[in-house]
Structure 1
Amino acid sequence: MTNSSSSTVINPHAAQPTSLMALAKSIWRNRQLIVQMTKREVVGRYQGSAMGLIWSFLNPLFMLAVYTFVFSEIFKSRWGGIGGDDSKTQFALVLFVGMIVLGLFSEVVSRAPGLILANVNYVKKVVFPIEILPVITMGAALFHSLISLGVLLTAFAIFNDYLHWTVIFTPLILLPLVIMTLGLAWMLASLGVFLRDVGQTIGIIITVLSFLSPVLYPVSAVPERFRPFIMANPLTFIIEQAREVLIWGHFPNWLGLGVYTLVATIVAWLGYAWFQKTRKGFSDVL
């Protein structure tokens, strides 16, 4: 993301719009640029490797195979509510759903503090809508999540000989998480310019969240007195709802999704507004 053919100088101190409408217009106006740079981001990750994009498929396939072996043959784990002889392999599928959600969130958030630092020339020298950098990162993360989701659905169909039709609700489950994560990414991208320790702190927070999210265990396994802390984790609801539609074949919690989407939209707006308000100081620091 560090090359550009344009050399037009802009005023980095100019006031920038902060409304949700301005955000939507920016994304729509730059949609082709977002698509092109997302493709470059995805391809660039595997540039120089012999198998290229094939790794985006092999990585989740390998991880699912490892989860299945470890939890079915070593831990002999079972998930509450799963019965039958296939419960051990089903455990790996249930766990993998949580890993997909966690991976989508953590990939974007962990990279956010360094986005502006890695694209200094976009800030100082050329006409470039730097507010789309988190959107590009999210696009690349979504690509890998979709590949992992395809692996999950294929494995589920192989193990069970069917797929729940409720999988069609998966985009609606992930959408509020995408919105909220973008808001956090805008805020962290800004903070990462002024506070270089943010990147290290976020790594610790993501590690903590990975253990405080119901990825390796069901919420029902958490002692009652600690459940409010687990439920306060913004990943918990999305992970649970993703399992409802992908694994159990249930309808989503529409009311919960509506509330989550509203809160996520507020977070996105606040993050975007913060980014736009502080971006005029980027060139001074960088």
Structure 2
Amino acid sequence: MLRNLWRYRYFILASIRAEMKGRFARSRLGGLWFLLNPLAQALIFSIVLSQVLRARLPDTDVDAAYPIYLLSGLAAWTLFSEILGRSTTIFIEQASVMKKISFPRLCLPVIVWGSALTGHVLLVAAILVVFLFFGHFPGWSILAVPLGIVLISAFAFGLGIILGVLNVFVRDIGQVVAIVLQLWFWLTPIVYPPGIVPESFRWLVEMNPMAPLVGIYQDALLYDRWPQPEALAVPALLAAAAVVFAFALFRRASPELVDAL
């Protein structure tokens, strides 16, 4: 499968470029939409919640601490949810193409991954510009962000392929994923700091593999802290296991994908 992906690398790159261009075709603002959507969410949450939560953000005296915390978490979550959500439905969406053209089917989630990663890099760059307007710029710990990108995208990519294959045979999977992602978002410390979670529910945050992955962004971009290796051990293992299992499942199910579609 990896050999086939390498043979079709130009097809994958061309598809990513075409998707990025098509996303903003006839749009006057173009790539600015990468920034405007998360900024709109951050503005809404900040207006509603910042007055309540500002004093509860620990270990920082930054005036715009809450918007920075929120934007950092939203950036990490957007990468995860886009790869996972789109990979879950990509085989169904491209059913007609899969029936007419012969190419490695694994190219489709790889194109999703590449497109999401390209958009995410642009989003992070735009957010850093916004931080300058807040009078805040991260220190050397910003170099930890690429580690977060790798772990989050690998975890989402593996889960996305698994759920995407299952969704071909059981169409309810796509509907369930949309609901689970909403619940998962609120179980991840993005809108709130983990310290305010009641003791009786704190175990949900501790068992959530996305919590330390989102924390990489928040620690690096707001607190100027490096991630703790022991906190990332379990998410890294889960990401690796998801990718390995996804490839095994895809290899087993790929001969039947087109027939099921």
TM-score (norm 2): 0.89
Q: What is the CA-CA distance between 1:66 and the residue it aligns to? A: 4.4
Task: Report percent identity of matched pairs.
Answer: 28
What is the identity, as a one-letter code, of the residue corresponding to 1:138? W
Q: What is the CA-CA distance between 1:99 and the residue it aligns to? A: 1.0
C-alpha RMSD over aligned residues: 2.2
Partners of 2:60 and 2:152 lie apart in 1 by: 30
- Change over 3 Å in CA distance of 1:207–1:64 after alignment to 2: closer
User: Conserved in 2, the CA contact under 8 Å of 1:101 and 1:235?
Assistant: no
Partners of 1:155 and 1:70 lie apart in 2 by: 20
- Matching residue of 1:8: none
Partners of 1:162 and 1:77 lie apart in 2 by: 19
User: Conserved in 2, the CA contact under 8 Å of 1:122 and 1:128?
Assistant: no
Deviation per CA, 1:71-130: give whole Å up to 9, x if none: 45x6574442155471xx210110111111111111122222321112224433322111
Partners of 2:155 and 2:79 lie apart in 1 by: 12
Rg (Cα) greater in structure: 1
- Change over 3 Å in CA distance of 1:161–1:189 after alignment to 2: closer
Which of 116, 131, 141 lines up with 2:91 in the alignment?
116
- Matching residue of 2:58: 81
Which structure: greater helix fraction?
2
1:221 aligned onto 2:196? yes
What is the identity, as a one-letter code, of the residue corresponding to 1:32? Y
- Matching residue of 2:239: 264
Partners of 1:83 and 1:257 lie apart in 2 by: 23
Partners of 2:221 and 2:53 lie apart in 1 by: 22
1:145 aligned onto 2:120? yes
Partners of 2:32 and 2:134 lie apart in 1 by: 23
Partners of 2:230 and 2:11 lie apart in 1 by: 35
Bigger Cα displacement from structure 2, 53-62 vs 134-143: 53-62
- Secondary structure, aligned partner of 1:38: helix
Partners of 1:237 and 1:76 lie apart in 2 by: 20
- Change over 3 Å in CA distance of 1:119–1:85 after alignment to 2: closer
- Change over 3 Å in CA distance of 1:115–1:181 after alignment to 2: same
Partners of 2:4 and 2:205 lie apart in 1 by: 36
